[in-house]
């Protein structure tokens, strides 16, 4: 049973436009959410995070929104750049045990 779901396997966006990546979760014990970016032949790298007590966190071109009632979060990238093309993983931290549960990932392609 997947507790963190990324239902879109891939997303294609034109350079300069907004990219929106979505993530849904089922476990109400998650207290922190993170987004990781992964390029081929590299390990995932941390991008941005949000605590469950907040509904928005912004860092430059990246903004994460959290809707606790819907158990949904999204990552917005504005404007999208070709270098943003990568696999994006949503991850959630369990309040107890400090373990991350990852979604399946979404492949983002930004076309120039």
Among 86, 103, 108, 110, binds another protein (CB under 8 A): 103
| Contact between 46 and another protein per CB under 8 A | yes
The interface region with another protein, picked from 14-22, 62-70, 72-80, 98-106 by CB under 8 A, is: 98-106
HEC string of the chain equals CCCEECCCCEEEEECCCCEEEEEEECCCCEEEEEEEEECCCCCCEEEEEEECCCCEEEECCEEEEEECCCCEEEEEECCCCHHHCEEEEEEEEECCCCCEEECCCEEEEEEC
Q: Which residues bind another protein (CB under 8 A)?
A: 4, 6, 9, 32, 34, 36, 41-46, 49, 89, 93, 98-105
């Amino acid at each position: 049973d997947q507790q963190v779901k990324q239902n879109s396997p891939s997303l294609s966006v034109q350079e300069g436009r907004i990219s929106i990546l979505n993530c849904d979760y089922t476990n109400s014990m998650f207290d922190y959410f993170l987004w990781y970016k992964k390029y081929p032949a590299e390990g995932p790298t941390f991008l941005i995070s949000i605590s469950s007590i907040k509904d928005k966190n912004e860092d430059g071109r990246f903004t994460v929104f959290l809707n606790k009632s819907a158990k949904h979060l999204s990552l917005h990238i504005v404007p999208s750049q070709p270098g943003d093309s990568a696999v994006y993983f949503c991850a959630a931290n369990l309040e107890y045990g400090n373990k991350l549960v990852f979604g399946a990932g979404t492949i983002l392609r930004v076309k120039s």
